[in-house]
Structure 1
């Protein structure tokens, strides 16, 4: 039932995208010119493998022919469309929307489609119509979790995806590949895509339909006005790893959701002062007292010269580091890698950034973790770089302490072990003068 409703919502977004193209200024698309989706569909009729120019070096022509021959041997209606998806493009960076557009233009009843990942995950996505006979979605998702694919390029990943689809046991392969995920705590491993969809169905579907309706109405009123970023809703806390009631007040998140920098700055100042009071009240025998003092001093340093939300988020990360030191928290998880304003991370996941061959072990909140697992784009904190807004972690590490450290996520070892308060902690780096610079 929910899958049908979600499909309807995706189709509504596709329809809205088509409507936008129809009423957009002529400069955006020449009259009579085929749409991007139509061009891709036309290319897939000529060859089962279409590669965008952005991936030309990763999948050269000779390799495309090999992939096409591999597909032909399977006897399955497999198509490969490797196209970079970016938030704000014709598909809003969503692979689901892109897949529906391509399928609609192909007008092919039986179809298995492998697409390039969205902007944030960078992984391949699999789609199948009708039904899931070949378990394509799980088969393609498995690729990103196989150790043998850790350093594989895009062409090798695509070949592996085709191989797994042909085997027809994608769900089993997926469950085996993800059996050991999670941080080993009570948070457990990430839910399977289908389970996450069911759990988040009621919270996702209504806002999606409402958003589509509102956007459709606004389109006729203000053609060309850019879509505003999505906002989080609902209460969020920063619970400590020890379970103590360390939580930033709701005003912090209210300010973050409305991007009210001044309001967030005031709340952040209050948190730094509260940490200072906690440090002064701590006994001299407190094990982590010196680390907490360092975090307090570093938070003040960053706050004094904070220039935007990324720096204010860094202050909160330092406050969390100081609180953890006072509480003696064992192996505390840092704030959410994708957006530290989401609060404390719930678990660690493996994630491959777009354009990188290796995977990172990062800490994510429950919502962002579910987004990555279900091949959706998590809400990411952005920063200014060369006159444009980019995900903060795309700023060169030499120019941003936050990009270099992931607000603490990238300071842990590959398995997420360690107490997170060692000599390479955020406070120590600020003390060494690495703010506002990165690690070089």
Structure 2
């Protein structure tokens, strides 16, 4: 009996131990998230370099950056981490920066990060305000000639130097003016708010508040006159063309690209069909002795080829790019007044040709490349790149069925990726029509 009691007591003790003991999984501490790991490292040192960049920024160079940052006396931290599409930050450096800022929980912080999937340039962020103008200071690095072939360590050191100076906005404006210059593709390379800034800095007194009502009224009157002239021009052209004809989409892009903004492929297909017909009519009405006529006819034939085989928005955008190429050929010879008065028109927007005609050429560095590209961009996309925001990009489907920016498709599979819808073509190279005529479009389909 006594042995039975001992066995019962032992069983009860074992039961208590089993119930009281926590599971093994609960005892093991949870692994820190990537953001927490980086923030923890930045608490120990103002420079964190991911293993992927260890060769570009070795330990000795990291220590030099640490000493440089400490001399500034500013709350600067550098986090050089690859930021790519599909990662925890969705390939966007501003998301990464917010994660690190939240984990650090520091009120004052200036953070320098590596480039994201939209650009290979460094990015700068500042909290709580913009006292050091860090964002402009860091983005200036990508426009400096001295940094063209510089490594990541040299670029980071330059970014810290510009942040310390505290005049990032001025430095950025000077660098972009020099880098873009008169070749920017139509218009000043100044930022969208340069006009307002210039009026404040001017000695003419135009920025005085007493003049603002007059200036505002004058601008409003000018806008009203411009709108009235545009409406009159539209109806005069419509009457000259006759009923049932279709105007140029590049004279009035808002009419053509409205369907694209709604992502209505069927509506856009109908619109592109009308534009191909309109190009054919314009070429037919042209003088048969002009050399430019053959270029327009080639573009017309290529546009028809692509339209017949178009599978989605990227191909339909290619049709519009070919129509633009054909129109430009006629305009260059003075045979079509749709774009009268223009000279060497730019192609459609590189990032999304459904945005319409590009406004200027800008410098842009794709992820994973050290060299910049000079591409044509619409005003909205150009502004987005300059202010380190993601432009609205036309997407395509890659070999794995994923939706990716169209220019990330291998060039041998997409004539649009190979040419940027015309942005990547150099003087003297065949245009889009020539490439489609050689079968590059069909080979990509195959």
The alignment's TM-score, normalised by the length of structure 2, stands at 0.72
Shift of 1:87: 5.5
User: Is 1:312 aligned to residue 316 of structure 2?
Assistant: yes
- Aligned partner of 2:34 in structure 1 is 36
Quickly say closer, same or farther: Cα 1:129–1:355, change in 2 above 3 A. same
Per-residue CA distance 1:299-336 (angstroms, 9 max, x = gap): 11222222222122111100000011111153110000
- Which of the residues 424, 430, 443 maps onto 1:424? 430
Contact 2:122 2:139 in 1 (8 A): yes
CA distance in 2, matches of 1:252, 1:86: 34
Contact 1:279–1:292 (CA under 8 A) maintained in structure 2:
yes
Structure 1 residue 365: Cα displacement? 0.3
Matched, 1:129 2:122: no
SS across alignment from 2:382: helix
CA contact (8 A) 1:362 1:410 kept: yes
> In the alignment, which residue of structure 2 is the partner of 1:409?
423
Q: Does the 8 A contact of 1:196 with 1:370 survive in 2?
A: no
Residue in 1 that maps onto 2:16:
none
> 2:152 — aligned with what?
154
Change in 2 beyond 3 A, CA 1:247/1:85: same
Distance apart, 1:165 and its partner CA: 1.8
User: 1:196, 1:371 → 2: CA distance?
Assistant: 19
Summarize deviations over 1:129-182 as a string: whole Å, max 9, x none.
343333322211110100111122322211211122223332332222112336
Q: Take 2:73 and 2:79, find their aligned partners in 1: how far apart are those partners?
A: 18
Task: From the two aligned structures, give the one with the greater helix fraction.
Answer: 2
Aligned residue among 260, 266, 269 for 1:262: 266
SS in 2 for 1:128: strand
What does residue 110 of structure 2 align with? 112
Deviation at 1:252, TM superposition (A): 4.3
Tell whether the 8 Å contact from 1:251 to 1:267 is kept in structure 2 after alignment: no
State the match for 1:99 in structure 2: 97
Q: Which has the higher contact order (CA 8 A, sep 6+)?
A: 1
Following superposition, the deviation at residue 378 of structure 1 comes to 0.4
Q: 2:408 aligns with which of 385, 389, 394?
A: 394
- Could you tell me whether the CA contact under 8 Å between 2:184 and 2:362 is conserved in 1? no
| Structure 1 residue 31 displacement after superposition | 9.3
Which residue of the partner structure matches residue 187 of structure 1? Answer: 187
- The separation in 1 between residues aligned to 2:391 and 2:159, in whole angstroms, is 24
- Normalising by the residue count of structure 1, what TM-score does the alignment of the two structures yield? 0.73
Q: Specify which of 352, 367, 380 is matched with residue 365 of structure 2.
A: 352
The CA deviation at 1:81 is 1.3
| SS in structure 1 of the partner of residue 361 of structure 2 | strand
Q: Distance in 2 between matches of 1:302 and 1:349?
A: 28
Q: Secondary structure at the match of 1:397?
A: coil
The answer (yes or no) to whether the contact 2:177–2:190 under 8 Å persists in 1 is no
Partner SS, residue 137 of structure 1: helix
Bigger Rg, structure 1 or 2: 2
- Alignment coverage as a number of residue pairs: 356
Q: Deviations over 1:413-432 (max 9, x none)?
A: xxxxx5xxx55211112122
Distance 1:38 1:196, change over 3 A: farther
CA 1:423–1:141 in 2, change beyond 3 Å: closer, same or farther? Answer: closer
2:133 & 2:430 partners in 1: Cα distance? 44
1:266–1:358 distance in 2 versus 1, CA, 3 Å: same
Give the superposition deviation at 1:40: 2.0
Once the two structures are TM-superposed, the CA of residue 107 in structure 1 deviates from its matched residue by: 1.8
Q: Which deviates more from structure 2 when the two are superposed, residues 56-65 or residues 308-317?
A: 56-65
Tell me how far 1:42 sits from its aligned partner. Answer: 1.1
Aligned counterparts of 1:194 and 1:119: Cα–Cα separation in 2: 28
- What is the CA–CA distance in structure 2 between the aligned matches of 1:250 and 1:109, rounded to whole Å? 45
Structure 1 residue 373: Cα displacement: 0.7
1:185-204: CA deviation from partner (whole Å, max 9, x where unpaired): 6532141689899xxxxxxx
> Structure 1: which 5+ residue stretches go unaligned?
1-29, 198-236, 238-243, 413-417
Structure 1 residue 352, shift from structure 2 partner: 0.7
Distance apart, 1:382 and its partner CA: 1.3
